[in-house]
Structure 1
Amino acid sequence: MHEHNEAKILHSWHCNADAWTQMVRDALLESRRLVTDQAIIDAVLDGQPASVLDIGCGEGWLVRALAARGIQAMGVDAVPALVERARQAGGNFAVATYEDIVTGKLAQHADAVVCNFSLLGKESVEQLLTALPSRLETNGRLIVQTVHPLIACGEQVYVDGWRLENWTGFDGAFPAPAPWYFRTLASWIALFTTTGWRLRELREPMHPQTCRPASVVFIAQWHGVLEGPT
């Protein structure tokens, strides 16, 4: 079942590439417009990196935003259609899957690695986090922004497990439902620890209207000690 869901993640994003590009470029998600886009930019800039690798870059908005601030930024994504949209808008982009990174096919190094709402699977994410230190320069940082578990849980039980994004409210613009793996806040923290990372900071960017966290941002550095699988 896990392997099936992992495969369906990529399939869904192949199908949804055009709809996602349109949504991002038209600023249709209020939480992005009001909170989370700036939250990830601020988290990156606070570390003053000279170079950034954006993993799961989508249509490339973050790479362009960082490049405009003088940072050498590169984005990679497993969906060729998204990488093509990104290249058309300008910037340094390449097609690369999590597996490519895990197996060392991606040679890029950076002062900061960013995963902005792009850690969607279970085993694939565990494997990726274990491999990411090889992509970082000395004393580099890993910055992850994801949905806040307490908010994303909704009415479902607060336990780890696979969920399905049906894109409710987008009037059928997204043709394919997208599976993703839900983790509690404790499980996220444990995941960083067991894959060898030391969590330096946890941020909860607040939505200015609801006064509830719009996301959670983890900032970590490689600790170099693996404590076993999650």
Structure 2
Amino acid sequence: MNPAGPPSDGWAESAGAWIADMGEEGDFGRRFVLDEPMLRLATAAAPATALDVGCGEGRFCRMLRANGIATVGVDPTEALIDRARARDPAGDYRLGRGEALDLPDAGFDLVVSYLSLIDMPDVAAAIAEMARVLRPGGTLLIANLNGFNTAGQTLGWMQDLSGNSHFGMDHYLDERADWIEWRGIRVQNWHRPLGRYMELLLGAGLTLTHFSEPAPTGGDARRVKRYRRAPWFLVMAWTRPGV
């Protein structure tokens, strides 16, 4: 028995800094790289219902709701759910973990994981749960950090002997959690090779219908150049077979 409970992943302690950093528009990666393809893919089949797993402070839920989609947001961090409810009192935001969703089978046309799989220790359980609550013919839409990026979380940009900068990575095939810090936020991110995600998604009986590594579509030119030099994000859409 551990009276102190499980060790923290940093999210409860970092919630305030996260809320301040995201604002309403999100950070550079969300605003200029991921929002456009994620919203386009999310609305493509005109889903009536959606579940956002790891919804955080609810920003993408609000975007889905603005497009007429009845959306449920689930997140394990109470302060983030409180913020989501405050920003969107008419929304449906619930405390919960992606690894154990308290939701019925086949209840949603669309399930979204927007940069949340990297926060989940038991990714096999999380993917199985997302597939379970997805209706036949529905779509699981995933945005994730690229594995080449997460394999370099503790190395980042380095200079070689000639003074040229490169993004360093190592131990790509070793699944692990690393602590990362930026602008007052300190949380654990899980690195997993792409093959691990593909194995689990295919094993859940899902069919891949979209894969991309989106590039920035605007923003500061220096940041655009940085995001184009090293792989940053990937976007996948998976369909549950059936009608």
Give SS of 1:97's match.
Answer: coil
Q: Provide, for residues 132-177 of structure 1, a one-character-per-residue CA deviation record: whole Å limited to 9, x for no partner.
A: 2331222111111101123333323222321424224x2xx22xx3
> How many Å apart are 1:85 and its aligned residue?
0.3
Equivalent-residue separation in structure 2 for 1:192 and 1:126 (angstroms): 9
Aligned to 2:180: 166
Q: Which of the two has greater helix per residue?
A: 1
User: Helix, strand or coil: the match of 1:33?
Assistant: helix
**Aligned pairs (5 A) from 1:70-149:** 70-90=68-88, 91-101=91-101, 105-107=102-104, 109-120=107-118, 124-149=122-147
Kept in 2, the 8 Å contact 1:130–1:196? The answer is no
1:44-70: per-residue Cα shift (whole Å, max 9, x none)?
112321111001000000111111111
CA-based RMSD of the aligned residues comes to 2.3
Q: CA deviation at 1:28?
A: 6.3
Task: Tell me what 1:195 maps to.
Answer: 204
The 1:162/1:64 distance shift into structure 2, 3 A limit, reads same
The code of the aligned residue for 1:134 comes to: R
* Structure 2: gaps (5+ residues): 1-5, 153-167, 218-223
Q: How many residues end up aligned between the 2 structures?
A: 209
Deviation string, structure 1 residues 177-201 (Cα, Å, up to 9, x no partner): 3222212223322221123322222
CA contact (8 A) 2:213 2:235 kept: yes
1:114/1:21 CA distance change after superposition, 3 Å: same
Q: 1:28 to 1:223 in 2, by over 3 A?
A: closer
> Could you tell me which residue of structure 2 aligns to residue 152 of structure 1?
150
Amino acid paired to 2:147: P
> 1:26 deviation in Å?
5.9
- Give the conservation status (yes or no) of the 8 Å contact 1:36–1:214: no
Instruction: Show the counterpart of 2:213.
Output: 204
| Counterpart mapping for 1:6-45 below 5 A | 7-8=6-7, 11-25=9-23, 27=25, 29-45=27-43
- Checking the alignment, whether the CA contact within 8 Å between 2:75 and 2:94 is kept in structure 1 is yes
Letter in 2 for 1:193: L
Equivalent of residue 48 in structure 2, options 25, 44, 50: 50
- 2:135 touches 2:240 (CA, 8 Å); kept in 1? no
Structure 1: how far apart are the matches of 2:77 and 2:141?
21
Letter of the 1:167 counterpart: E
The farther-off stretch of 59-68 and 18-27 is 18-27
SS of aligned partner of 1:167: strand
Taking a change above 3 Å as real, the CA distance of residues 192 and 99 of structure 1, as seen in their structure-2 partners, is: closer
Q: Matches of 1:26 and 1:201 in 2, distance apart? A: 27
Q: How far off is 1:30 after superposition?
A: 1.6
